Structure 1
Amino acid sequence: MNHIFLITKREFLTQVKKKSFVILTLLAPLLLIGFGSVIGLMFKANESHSIIEVVDKNGLFKNHLKSTDKLDYVFVPAADEKAKVNTLKNNESLDGILILPELQNGNYEQLLNNTRLVINNKIGFDTKQKIVSDINEVIKKEKIKKLGIAESQLDNLDKAFTLKTINVSENNKEDSDLAFGVKSVLSMLLMYVTFMFIIIYGVRVMRSVLEEKNNRVVEIIISSVKPFELMMGKILGVTMVALTQFVVWITMSVVGALVLNTGFSSIPKNIPGGSETMMSKFDILQMGTQISHSLLELNFPLIIFVFIVFFLLGYIFYSSIYAAIGSAVDNETETQQFTLFAILPLMVGMYGSFTFMNNPDGPLGFWLSIIPFTSPVAMIARIPYGVPAWQIALSIVLLLGTTIFMIFLAGKIYRVGILMYGNKATLKEIWKWIKG
């Protein structure tokens, strides 16, 4: 046991003393926010402002087609249609001409079928759909007028409402759309982080084992410690490295949510004389405050507990497999035929977790979070929505038992494989090692 502790300590200190570890741990949340901001700016930078001239031969659409910040409608006389179309190709400041034909005998269907958009360059799909939507809205209002129904009456019929949802299993707390959205984002984030870390750190264990095996350093090491102690020391050491990063990130996230929640909640809702841009920024801050408030309303102690427990057990479970693979092969090329067995169950759990947004308590969610091969990612994805205590307990017991059994199997493979050189291990040969 003392040897396992010493090896764990060595593996842990070797990793955390690296400058790259400190920099990545502290800057990773900022890099993630920065990456998201860059993606958002890229979408913003790719947006286009289109100018469309409108030839309205009926006068039905004038004053009804409203310009927006992405689309400008400029009405021109119907007599200028041919001249405008002929000069469109050389007009770089104009994106297209919308030609709305005459309405004959109240036949709106014919009007829509004969409507044309002549473009100078390619326009975006969203711009085209916006034009179609605007035209349909005007036609809809014209039809309503002919039926003798006032717009105010129609607006009253179409008036939407927000359905308040009270969750009795969470002390009658209101479950708003924003809160559900926050849970969904948190669910996917925790699940994806767990998936990636299990693979990244599992592969790190495998490469470490493979490197020591190829350098023949392991022959010297196992003269002092047992192969099982060496394997467990490596797994636990890297586990502590990952946990250290998670503790730092969780602390930064909670502190950030608290600061955002308390720092902007006291800002007055009515800012006299504020510009439109200022109000827009204030709305963004208010949205950030609401999101942080929704985060803080979640059962964070339970979420953190489940996250740490399932990550720990899931990582040890899969790292045992990776350590066994590293000991059974001689080079990284040969690892590919075995690592598929470790990656596939995780991928099933990850992609299955995307369905939890529709039904987190459904049969798929239940079984994925109970089966040990998928529960490390599936249970973490379900926990923000709320999971019964008995399901959490059952899943932990099954995952713990399976993890202990996998450590036992990996230890048998590791004990023999770590000293095997030059022979390409097959599944049949690995089975003999386990039996032996």
Structure 2
Amino acid sequence: MNNIFLITKREFLTQVKKKSFIILTLLAPLLVVGFGAVIGLMFKANESHSIIEVVDKSGLFRNQLKSNDKLEYVFVSAADEKAKINNLKDNESMDGILILPELKNQNYNELENSTRLIINAKMGFDTKQKIVSDITDVIKKEKIKQLGIEETQLNSLDKGFTLKTINVSDNSKEDSDLAFGVKSGLSILLMYVTFMFIIIYGVRVMRSVLEEKNNRVVEIIISSVKPFELMMGKILGVTLVALTQFLIWISMSVIGALVLNTGFSSFQKNIPGGNEELANKLDITQIATQVSHSLLELNFPLIIFVFIIFFLLGYIFYSSIYAAIGSAVDNETETQQFTLFAILPLTVGMYGSFSLMNNPDGPLGFWLSIIPFTSPVAMIARIPFGVPAWQIALSIALLLGTTIFMIFLAGKIYRVGILMYGNKATLKEIWKWIKG
């Protein structure tokens, strides 16, 4: 036991003292936010501003087709139609001409069949759909007017219905759409982070074992410690490294939520009441404040506890598999035939968990969060929505028992495979090591 502690300590200190670890731990949240901002800017940079000349022969659309920051309508006389079309090819300031024919006998089908959009270059799908949507809205309003319905009545018909949901199982809290969206986002984030880090750090264990095996350093090491102690020391050391990063990131997230909840709220109070334009620009601030409120209403102690437990056990479970793989092969090329056994169950658990958003308490969610091969990601995906205590306890018990059993199997493979050179390991050969 003392040897396991010493190896764990050495592995942990070696990792956390690296400058790369410190820089990545502190900058990773900022890099994620920056990456999201870059993606947003890329989409923004690819947006276009289109100018469309409109020939409205019926006069129906002149005051109803509204321009915006992406699409501008310029109405021209019907007498200039042919000249405009002839000059369109060489006119770089215009993107197209929309020909809206005269509406005869309220025949909207004929109007649709005769409407044409003439362009001088390729036009984006979104722009075309916006034009179609604008024309459809105008025609819809005209048809409703013919039925004798006023605009105020039309607005009343289009008004949505907001349903307030109160969960009596959760202290009668109101479960809004925003709160559900926050839970879904947190669920996906925790699940994806767990999935990625189990694979990343598991592969790190495998490569560390494979490197020591190829360098024959392991022959010197196991003269002082048992192979099982070496394997467990490496797994636990890297586990503590991952947990250290998670705890730092969780602390930064909670502090960020508190800042959004207090700083932005006080900032909004100073907005002048009559400055509607400024208030509209700060809608994103209001949304951020509401999101922070929803986050702080969650049972974070339970979420953090379940996250750490399932990440810890899930990581040890899969790292044992990776350590066994690293000891059974001689190079990274040969690892490909075995790593599928580690990646596939996690992948099933992750993609299966996306269906939990619609029904977190359904049978699929239950079994994915109970079966040890998928529970490290599925239970973490369910926990923001609330999970009964008995299901959490049952899942932890099964995962803990399976993890201990997997450590036992991996130890038997590691004990033989770490000193095997030149022989290509097969499933049949590995089975013999386990039996022996």
User: TM-score if structure 1 supplies the norm length?
Assistant: 0.98
Q: What's the offset of the Cα at 1:122?
A: 1.4
Is 1:132–2:132 an aligned residue pair?
Answer: yes
2:303 maps to which residue?
303
Which residue identity lines up with residue 93 of structure 1 in the other structure? S
Which residue identity lines up with residue 221 of structure 2 in the other structure? I
1:59 maps to which residue?
59
1:206 maps to which residue?
206
Which runs of 5 or more structure 2 residues have no equivalent in the other structure? none
Q: What's the offset of the Cα at 1:152?
A: 1.6
1:209-288 matched pairs, under 5 angstroms: 209-266=209-266, 267-268=268-269, 270-272=271-273, 274=275, 276=277, 278-288=278-288
Task: Report the Cα distance in structure 1 between the residues aligned to 2:255 and 2:289, rounded to whole angstroms.
Answer: 13
Which residue identity lines up with residue 85 of structure 1 in the other structure? I
1:353-392 matched pairs, under 5 angstroms: 353-392=353-392
Which residue identity lines up with residue 257 of structure 1 in the other structure? A
Is 1:426–2:432 an aligned residue pair?
Answer: no
Deviations 1:227-249 (A, max 9, x none): 10000000000000000000000
Deviations 1:36-91 (A, max 9, x none): 11111111111111111110010001101111111111110111111111111111
Q: What's the offset of the Cα at 1:270?
A: 5.0
Deviations 1:200-232 (A, max 9, x none): 000000000000001111111111111100000
Which residue identity lines up with residue 99 of structure 1 in the other structure? I
SS at match of 2:282: helix
SS at match of 2:53: strand
Q: What's the offset of the Cα at 1:154?
A: 2.2
2:47 maps to which residue?
47
Which runs of 5 or more structure 1 residues have no equivalent in the other structure? none
Which residue identity lines up with residue 272 of structure 2 in the other structure? I
Which residue identity lines up with residue 104 of structure 2 in the other structure? Q
**Contact 2:271/2:279 (<8 A) preserved:** no
Which residue identity lines up with residue 407 of structure 1 in the other structure? I
Task: Report the Cα distance in structure 1 between the residues aligned to 2:271 and 2:199, rounded to whole angstroms.
Answer: 49
Which residue identity lines up with residue 400 of structure 1 in the other structure? L
Deviations 1:379-405 (A, max 9, x none): 111111111111111111111111000
1:122 maps to which residue?
122
Q: What's the offset of the Cα at 1:158?
A: 2.4
Deviations 1:329-363 (A, max 9, x none): 00000000000000000000111111122221111
SS at match of 1:66: coil
Deviations 1:71-127 (A, max 9, x none): 111110111111111111111111111111111221101101211111111121111
Which residue identity lines up with residue 225 of structure 1 in the other structure? V
Q: Name the % identity.
A: 86
SS at match of 1:75: strand
Task: Report the Cα distance in structure 2 between the residues aligned to 1:157 and 1:420, rounded to whole angstroms.
Answer: 76
SS at match of 1:89: coil
Task: Report the Cα distance in structure 1 between the residues aligned to 2:136 and 2:91, rounded to whole angstroms.
Answer: 28
1:2-21 matched pairs, under 5 angstroms: 2-21=2-21
2:86 maps to which residue?
86
Q: Which moved more, 1:341-350 or 1:148-157?
A: 148-157
Task: Report the Cα distance in structure 2 between the residues aligned to 1:271 and 1:39, rounded to whole angstroms.
Answer: 33
Which residue identity lines up with residue 345 of structure 1 in the other structure? P
Task: Report the Cα distance in structure 1 between the residues aligned to 2:248 and 2:311, rounded to whole angstroms.
Answer: 15
Q: What's the offset of the Cα at 1:281?
A: 3.7
Task: Report the Cα distance in structure 2 between the residues aligned to 1:46 and 1:310, rounded to whole angstroms.
Answer: 42
Q: What's the offset of the Cα at 1:168?
A: 1.3
Task: Report the Cα distance in structure 1 between the residues aligned to 2:7 and 2:31, rounded to whole angstroms.
Answer: 32
1:25-174 matched pairs, under 5 angstroms: 25-174=25-174
Task: Report the Cα distance in structure 1 between the residues aligned to 2:119 and 2:368, rounded to whole angstroms.
Answer: 51
SS at match of 2:269: coil
Which residue identity lines up with residue 282 of structure 2 in the other structure? F
Task: Report the Cα distance in structure 2 between the residues aligned to 1:218 and 1:336, rounded to whole angstroms.
Answer: 23
Q: Which moved more, 1:55-64 or 1:147-156?
A: 147-156
How large is the Cα RMSD of the aligned pairs?
A: 1.1
Which residue identity lines up with residue 198 of structure 1 in the other structure? I
Task: Report the Cα distance in structure 2 between the residues aligned to 1:36 and 1:263, rounded to whole angstroms.
Answer: 23
SS at match of 1:54: strand
Q: What's the offset of the Cα at 1:419?
A: 0.5
Task: Report the Cα distance in structure 2 between the residues aligned to 1:75 and 1:270, rounded to whole angstroms.
Answer: 39
Q: Which moved more, 1:156-165 or 1:346-355?
A: 156-165
Which residue identity lines up with residue 398 of structure 2 in the other structure? L
**Contact 2:53/2:73 (<8 A) preserved:** yes
Q: What's the offset of the Cα at 1:289?
A: 1.1
Task: Report the Cα distance in structure 2 between the residues aligned to 1:197 and 1:231, rounded to whole angstroms.
Answer: 19
2:290 maps to which residue?
290
User: TM-score if structure 2 supplies the norm length?
Assistant: 0.98
Task: Report the Cα distance in structure 1 between the residues aligned to 2:215 and 2:372, rounded to whole angstroms.
Answer: 35
Question: How many matched pairs?
Answer: 435
Cα 1:280–1:41 shift into 2, 3 Å: farther
SS at match of 1:355: helix
Q: What's the offset of the Cα at 1:280?
A: 3.7
Q: What's the offset of the Cα at 1:279?
A: 2.7
Cα 1:19–1:358 shift into 2, 3 Å: same
